[in-house]
Amino acid sequence: MTNSSSSSVVPRHVAIVMDGNGRWASKRFMPRVVGHKHGVDALVRTVRACADRGIEYLTVFAFSSENWKRPNDEVSGLMSLVLDTVAKHLAGLAEEGVRILIVGDRSAVSDKVRSAWERAEQATRHNARITLSVAFNYGGRWDVMQACRQALAAGLAPEQLTEEQLGRYMALSHAPDPDLFIRTGGEVRISNFLLWQVAYSELFFTECLWPDFGEAELDAALDDFRRRDRRFGGVQALQAQPAPLTAA
Ligand code: IPE
Ligand code: IPE
Ligand code: MG
């Protein structure tokens, strides 16, 4: 498939590393957690903008397996923010047809956070306008490992284990692979986000700090995506053939 042949191509699945909250706050001489709060507003804006544009799946990196290394007050600020966000935004998102799913290792989060996630999933389980997968205590390596563990526990023999089979145990088995992977905040790295699933995603990096992200930045990424030529290891799709030159 080549995107350049169709200017109306909208990715089915967009994945975003929402990075730059801390720097956004530091630039304003404010505590980092203020940046995270503004990051939640950017997330709600982006969910709406994606739904309006016909994107079916949005997956966001909210807390990585490695983010526990941060100072205690930042980690606890982020956990409280989960509770505040569910309290403040769940009803609105549910009303707008957003299905919320949490992907990541839930075993390490508090009962309060876990039950807030369960509430969000329950309240939105019949929605179908857009699926928002929130990667929380998520790591790409954890995901591959937990999928292998599940496959082994299911008694799969080595020869039965195919890419497709393993994919069924991955945390994002409910979604196609991301077509477009966006990272805000200027860093050009994956930081252990979706390792298995980004095999053929188009990557887009922007200096924009996450709290500043909105419709204009999303549209810039979507415009760029439209111009990409996705080959999936094949050859470039045939363009319209020029008329043959004929002797005068
Ligand atoms: C991303 O923003 C949000 C989380 C990791 C929770 P950061 O907090 O990493 O912001 P910067 O990269 O330090 O600016
Ligand atoms: C990735 O950002 C994780 C999230 C956005 C949740 P980080 O800020 O943790 O990544 P590094 O440390 O810059 O690689
Ligand atoms: Mg960061």
Are residues 63 and 138 in contact, defined by beta-carbon separation less than 8 angstroms? yes
CA 210 to centroid of ligand 1, rounded, Å: 9
Q: Exposed/middle/buried for 194, CB within 10 Å: 0-12, 13-18, 19+?
A: buried
Torsion angle defined by CA atoms of residues 108, 110, 115 and 121, in that order, rounded to the nearest 10 degrees: -40
- Which listed ligand is nearest to 192 at the C-alpha? 2
Tokens of 112: 């309060």
Does residue 63 have its Cβ closer than 6 Å to ligand 1?
Answer: yes
**pLDDT value, residue 5:** 42
The enclosing H or E element of 180 equals strand 180-183
Please report the atom of ligand 2 found closest to the CA of residue 17.
5
**pLDDT value, residue 236:** 79
Are residues 191 and 17 in contact, defined by beta-carbon separation less than 8 angstroms? yes
Are residues 10 and 56 in contact, defined by beta-carbon separation less than 8 angstroms? no
Residues 6+ apart with CB under 8 A from 68: 75, 108
- Closest CA to ligand 2's atom 12: 191
Mean pLDDT by 10 residues, the chain (248 residues): 57 98 98 98 98 98 98 98 98 98 96 98 98 98 98 95 96 98 98 98 98 98 97 79 58
Domains with residue ranges and CATH for the chain? 13-226 (3.40.1180.10)
Q: pTM for the whole thing? A: 0.93
Q: Which amino acid is at 6?
A: S
Does residue 21 have its Cβ closer than 6 Å to ligand 1?
Answer: yes
